[in-house]
Amino acid sequence: MVNRRAFLFRMALFSRVRSLPWRTSQPKGWPWAFLGTACEGTVTDVGTEGEQRERTSWKEESSQNLGFWRERLADQMLPLWRLNYEEQLKVKFESLKKNLETLESRLCKIGAGDPAPTTARSERPCSRLHPFMPSPVIHGYRNKSSFYINRGPDGNPKTVGHYLKSWGGSNVFCVQPSHLKDIPEKHNQVAQCFEAFLQQSTWGLSTDSCKAGPWHELIVRTTFLGHTMAIIIFNPQELSQEELCVQKEEIKEFFSTGPGAVCDLTSLYMKERTPRHQQLTPFQLLTGEPYIFEDILGLKVRISPGAFFQLNTSAAEVLYRTVGELGRVDRNTVIFDFSHGTGATGLSLARQTSQIFSMGLVGQALEDAKWTAAFNGNRVVQDIRNCRAIQTLVFVSCRPYGKSIKNIIKLCQPPDPDENLLGEPFVLRRAMPVDMFPHSLQCELVMLFTR
């Protein structure tokens, strides 16, 4: 029989970090009004003055001014990079507080929340938000970086970096990201060596997956154990197998015995990119070991080229500890791990609990699961609500707004037979934010629910 303290971790899957440019596509729940109040006169000035400066500079400065484009890229990828770390956490905390206030308002309208006759102000959702758990590493914390290949603002047609649109979006450039505070030196080293290889290559570049050249993306993964994996994504187009083999050998030689050997790669992969079914194309190991390894909370984790793993290893340890503490995991706890990837989430707590049920999805199974979830609506939430054995729920979200808010409302609203919500509702008890992505607007919010 499942223990009544059954503990569900991670109903929502973690998703990739998304670039959040100033005043263009910030997510719901991160309004500009709040950004100006958390650090008065600082963040707002960055956005408005940055736009005005860009409009003027676009006409006055030539495309040769790489410093201008590098600054624009930093504003797009890491909107909080101009602030010191303490101010960054303040910005994020105020935004999370605003989101929980919105949640509180919506729960009150439907008669959900703490069943106590009178809920003190100190016990409301927005007041249950604890201070931020900071990231142990602030600079160069990423263990995975993606680089793309396109024309740079200086005219170099094979620049390895991040995409950046010109004012008005009429042109797309690739800007080298070596100045970004979240990318470690090792990742930039591999990217620079790959760009050097491209300069001597007879192949073109890829701006369209169907019509342009083959080079599309470079992915670099590293671990604290000193392992480095490079993955080159390419579009074979109409190239013959003989031509492909020649290029693979040239890449292998470049990184094994040529100038790229300085990168000391543990693994070098290539993967074909097709317009559809990209998940179905296999990773091709050119040289080195098939896996890299990482240690996290005393657990040795094996990482394959396509596996999900938290981008900030040091902060992931903080996250996993927080999950275990909030869930009060002990030998009487049964863990249901609804996540995907390397299994580090549940296994990091294995020594503290009696049983773990991990439900992971990879490849095409994940795509099928996405369709099934969309087709069946709130079925997952319904099952959790209707499973009486689940008395404690730890919900981890990297986007604590939008769909996450809707799911939380379903978990907390009164029973409703029309929606097949028959079980007792959950009540939000604590919310612990963990900063996984310094300099960006994103974070992880760990929420404890009981009933």
148 belongs to a structural domain: no
Q: Which of 265, 296, 327 is the last residue of a domain?
A: 296
The stretch 238-242 carries a mean pLDDT of 81
Helix axes 66-77, 43-60, angle to 10 degrees: 150
CA 183 to chain centre: 14
Q: Is 398 a catalytic residue?
A: yes
pLDDT at 447 over 90: yes
- Going by C-alpha positions, the residue among 179, 139, 162, 229 that lies closest to residue 437 is 139
- The answer to whether 173 touches 158, Cβ cutoff 8 Å, is no
Length of the chain (residues): 451
The pTM of the full predicted model, rounded to 2 decimals, is: 0.79
Return the pLDDT at 30.
46
Contact between 445 and 397 (Cβ < 8 Å): yes
Which of the listed ranges 320-324, 362-366, 436-440 does the model predict with the highest average pLDDT?
A: 436-440
| 336 and 419 co-located in one domain | yes
281 and 400 fall within a common domain: no
Whole-angstrom CA distances from 128 to 96, 104, 125, 388, 401 are 11, 11, 5, 25, 17
Q: Is residue 176 part of a domain?
A: no
Q: pLDDT band for 58, please (50, 70, 90 cuts).
A: very low
In a domain, 256, yes or no: yes
Distance between CA 127 and CA 130 in Å, rounded? 8
pLDDT tens-digit series, residues 263-280: 999 999 999 886 655 556
65: pLDDT confidence band, cut at 50, 70 and 90?
Answer: confident
Most confident of 145-159, 350-364, 430-444: 430-444
The arithmetic mean of pLDDT across residues 285-291, rounded, is 97
Per-residue pLDDT of 301-337, as tens digits, reads 999 998 889 999 999 999 999 998 988 888 888 877 7
Q: How confident is the model at residue 204 (pLDDT cuts 50, 70, 90)?
A: low
**pLDDT value at 87 more than 50:** yes
Tell me, yes or no, whether 336 and 431 share the same domain: yes
Average pLDDT over every residue of 346-371 = 64
Residue 316 lies in a domain: yes
- Residues marked as binding for S-adenosyl-L-methionine? 310
Q: Which long-range contacts (CB under 8 A, 24 or more apart) does 26-32 make?
A: 26/79, 26/441, 27/399, 27/401, 27/402, 27/441, 28/401, 28/402, 29/95, 29/98, 29/99, 29/102, 29/400, 29/401, 29/402, 30/95, 30/401, 30/441, 31/98
Single-letter amino acid, residue 423: G
Is the same domain home to 275 and 327? no
Q: 338 — phi, psi (to 5°)?
A: -95, 75
Strands of the sheet containing 7-9, edge to edge, are 355-358, 334-337, 7-9, 392-397, 444-450, 427-434
Q: Which residue has the higher pLDDT, 229 or 13?
A: 229
- Whether residue 123 is found in the same domain as residue 198: no
Higher pLDDT, 138 or 29: 138
Which of the four pLDDT bands, split at 50, 70 and 90, describes residue 244?
confident
User: Based on the domain organization, do 325 and 435 belong to the same domain?
Assistant: yes
State whether 273 and 317 are in the same domain. Answer: no
Looking at the structure, do residues 217 and 329 belong to the same domain, yes or no? no
| 111, 234, 350, 385, 388 from 434: Cα distances, Å | 30, 36, 21, 26, 29
Residue closest to 343 by CA, chosen among 329, 355, 357? 357
Give me 303's structure tokens.
């990482």
The confidence band for 26, taking pLDDT boundaries of 50, 70 and 90, is very low
Whether the predicted pLDDT of 199 surpasses 80: yes
Summarize the confidence of residues 234-251 as an average pLDDT: 86
pLDDT band at 291 (very low <50, low <70, confident <90, very high): very high
Higher pLDDT among residues 415 and 399, named by residue: 415
The answer to whether position 407 is within a domain reads: yes
Secondary structure element (H or E) that encloses residue 426, with its range: none
User: Is-catalytic flag, 444?
Assistant: yes
Q: 66 pLDDT exceeds 70?
A: yes
pLDDT for the residue 333: 82
| C-alpha dist (Å) from residue 81 to 46, 84, 97 | 10, 8, 22
Which pLDDT value is given to residue 298? 87
Q: Which of 398, 412, 419, 443 is catalytic?
A: 398
Asked, for residue 370, whether it belongs to a domain, the answer is yes
| C-alpha closest to that of 51 among 35, 69, 81, 72 | 72
**Structural domain containing residue 123:** 7-16+99-136+310-450
More confident residue, 141 or 165: 141
Please tell me the predicted confidence (pLDDT) of residue 367.
53
**Are 316 and 444 found together in one domain?**
yes
| Per-chain mean pLDDT for the chain | 78
Q: Where are the alpha helices (DSSP H) in 147-184?
A: none
CB atoms within 10 A of CB 4: 12
What's the structural domain count of the chain? 2
The bridge status of strand 267-272 relative to strand 292-296 is unpaired
Q: Is the pLDDT of residue 18 over 70?
A: no
Q: Are residues 267 and 213 in the same domain?
A: yes
Of the segments 107-111, 310-314, 400-404, which one has the largest average pLDDT value? 310-314
Domain annotation covers residue 214: yes
Last residue of a domain, one of 296, 329, 348: 296
Residue 38 is predicted with a pLDDT of: 38
Q: Are 347 and 370 in the same domain?
A: yes
10 Å CB burial of residue 87 (0-12, 13-18, 19+) is middle
Burial 66-75 (b: 16+ CB within 10 A, else e): eebbbbbbbb
Percent of the chain, pLDDT > 70? Answer: 72
Q: Examine the domain organization and report whether 215 and 322 are in the same domain.
A: no
Q: Is residue 253 part of a domain?
A: yes
Instruction: Kindly state the average pLDDT of the residues 352-357.
Output: 76
- CATH of residue 341's domain is 3.40.50
For 379, other C-beta atoms within 10 Å of its C-beta total 12
pLDDT band at 115 (very low <50, low <70, confident <90, very high): low
Q: Which of 264, 296, 328 lies at the terminal end of a domain, its last residue?
A: 296
Annotated binding site: 310
CATH number of residue 212's parent domain: 2.40.50
Specify the DSSP class assigned to residue 344. H
Place of tokens 């390397």: 342
